[in-house]
A and B are shown apart, each in its own frame.
Chain A
Amino acid sequence: MKRKIVYTIILFFVLFIGGCNSRGISVTTVTGEVTYNGTPVENALISFVPQTPNGRGASGQSESNGAFVLLTQGATQSGAMLGEYKVLVSKVVEIDSSGKEVKRELVENYDPVNPPQQKMYPQKNLLPEKYSKEDSTEFTVTVEKGKNHFKLALKD
């Protein structure tokens, strides 16, 4: 008798806690690394363009060793939705007249009434242009359940 009651109580709590499901977009971890002619690329933008209906795009930015983690709009965790994607890789920087990359400093305490003026520079993609277009990219990947790791080796 006592045992039955204890079991009933446990059952109730299990059922109750089981009802606390979270909603939202379910994603799975997607990591990878970007190399260009064998060397890792820093600050490249990686976009996963969904090829499956109701898919959602994911994107990430690479670290100094070329590694990246994908994020998806609306998901509460890092990752991408399951399905097939085309992968776009680009690294757009501003260049000055000598063709050097312009590094900008972080500006703190921005004054909205008298905003300091920034100079505009032309922009350039440091990676081959074919990797930034959906119809010319060579990378088509499928994100599967579990952990995914993609090595993106870019060549001229």
Chain B
Amino acid sequence: MSKYIGGGGYTNWLIHHCLHAISLLFARTIASISARFGKQSFVRRAFTLVELLVVIAIIGILIALLLPAVQAAREAARRMQCSNHLKQYGLAAHNYHDTYQTLPPLAIWGQSGIDRYSWQLALLPFMEQQGILGMIDAGGVAASMDGTTNYPAGMRAETWDINYRPWRTDFSIRHCPSDGNSNQEAAQYFTGTNSYAGNVGDCSSNWSTMTNRALRGAFMRVQSRNFAAFADGTSNTVLFSERTVAVPESGSQTRNAKYALAVCSTTGNGSPDWVMGALDPNDRKRIKSTGGWDGQAWSGRRWNCAEFCYSSFHTVMAPNTVSAILWGNVSANSPVITVSSYHTGGVNLTLTDGSVRFVSDTINTGTTSVSAWHTADSARGTYGESPFGVWGAMGTIASGEARGLE
């Protein structure tokens, strides 16, 4: 019960006092009724112990029933709002497809040859955020936060430039209301948070060279996919989902708010097992192994950037488990990003057909052992079956298994 009572704030106070008033009224009524029908009419009498106990019990039961219900209802409302946001993204993607005959790519080429602009920017005109793109197209001092820097017109700004007004413009659809960290102020290199990410499938790949493996999900890095490529069926493939925003914290204990952002040692760059194995069993927000990078809390803190830790997720680890942001060698940085949320027991996601579902943490994730990962790596290629169970199958567009949620 304690988890419901904590953090209610004003509403808790209000409910408490309302109940208090009701209980006083109730007690008065009982007293007046008993006074009227009792033998000693017109004589005020005190409460008996039984009356007191009954009133206290009723108050107790009312509070016990009401409080959790109210808190749960508020969280349910937030979850519903979150699924509405994901629906907006799904509709935007479909409208984009209607216009351009493809889905947006994960990364858009900027005019200076930067391929780091996120798919979020491509969907802006379909989400009534044309103003941000207009600001980018116009450039000039109006596009700067300090009012003095003169930006060139078009997509030329670096994605980490926090002086660039388009990056700093906020819109509520990109935040999950349950994630209290998705409203962070911009910090150095981090322009603004977002909660939603695109599905890049069940293979971890190197961002800069894309040599390790092909992306098998709904998004490719620079090329884009159309619905015809979803051979497993658009109803069986995830398009967008959510991922909690990391909390900035320095030091060797890299955390995000829910589970650790694993920073694995550079060895054993491979399977989800390595990530789980590196977790401290006593504090599952902490990574046991040292060596390699002290990853800063990056996840979801640059909404306009297409790099994996900002824009995408992998369907490898079960929802609400560990992410590996910076593992392997940095020049071959192949992360595994896991979907996560503050909703109880799972995450919301948009399927490619536009429908929004809630997926449980306990979804089948197949075998996630080292050997399965490596065998699969060499054998599965672009169209092989995913070793990661139903979750892996839902992340791949054409692996020959039409496994859906039901």
Contacts and interface: CB of A to CB of B under 8 A. Distances in A.
B160 interface: yes
Nearest to B50: A2
A63 to B, nearest CB: 9
Given A8-B57, A107-B293, A108-B294, A74 B361 contact: yes
Contacts of B160: 112-113
Nearest to B365: A73
B1 interface: yes
A27 B180 CA distance: 30
A118 interface: yes
B163 interface: no
B306 interface: no
A43 B364 contact: no
Contacts of A73: 272, 276, 317-318, 321-322, 365, 368
B292 interface: yes
B155 to A, nearest CB: 18
B interface, over-half SS? loop
Among the interface residues A46, A73, A94, which one has the most CB atoms of the partner chain B within 10 A? A73
Interface string A125-146: 0000000111000000000000
A56 B61 contact: no
Interface string A103-117: 111111110110111
Contact of A109 (B294, B318, B329, B362): B294
A113 B367 CA distance: 36
5 pairs of A and B residues whose beta carbons are closest in the complex? A104-B291, A69-B281, A61-B277, A59-B273, A74-B318
A140 B64 CA distance: 48
B267 A134 contact: no
A17 B60 CA distance: 13
A13 B64 contact: yes
B291 A1 contact: no
Among the interface residues B57, B160, B289, B345, which one has the most CB atoms of the partner chain A within 10 A? B57
Contact of B369 (A24, A47, A74): A47
B360 to A, nearest CB: 9
Interface residues of B, number: 62
Contacts, number: 155
Contacts of B267: 92-94, 123
B332 A120 contact: yes
A103 B187 CA distance: 32
Interface in B288-319: 288-296, 298, 317-319
A71 B369 contact: no
Interface of B: 1, 49-50, 53-54, 57, 60-61, 64-65, 160, 189, 250-252, 265-268, 271-274, 276-279, 281, 284, 288-296, 298, 317-322, 326, 329-332, 344-345, 361-362, 364-365, 367-372
Contacts of B371: 47, 49, 88, 132-134
Interface residues of A, number: 57
A65 B364 CA distance: 34
Given A2-B50, A5-B50, A110-B294, A60 B281 contact: yes
B215 to A, nearest CB: 21
A132 to B, nearest CB: 6
A49 B294 CA distance: 29
A92 B293 contact: no
A116 B344 CA distance: 39
B294 A106 contact: yes
A9 interface: yes
A5 to B, nearest CB: 6
Given A12-B61, A71-B276, A105-B291, 14 more contacts: A16-B65, A20-B1, A45-B274, A49-B372, A59-B273, A60-B277, A60-B281, A72-B276, A73-B321, A74-B361, A118-B331, A120-B329, A123-B268, A133-B371
Contacts of A134: 369, 371-372
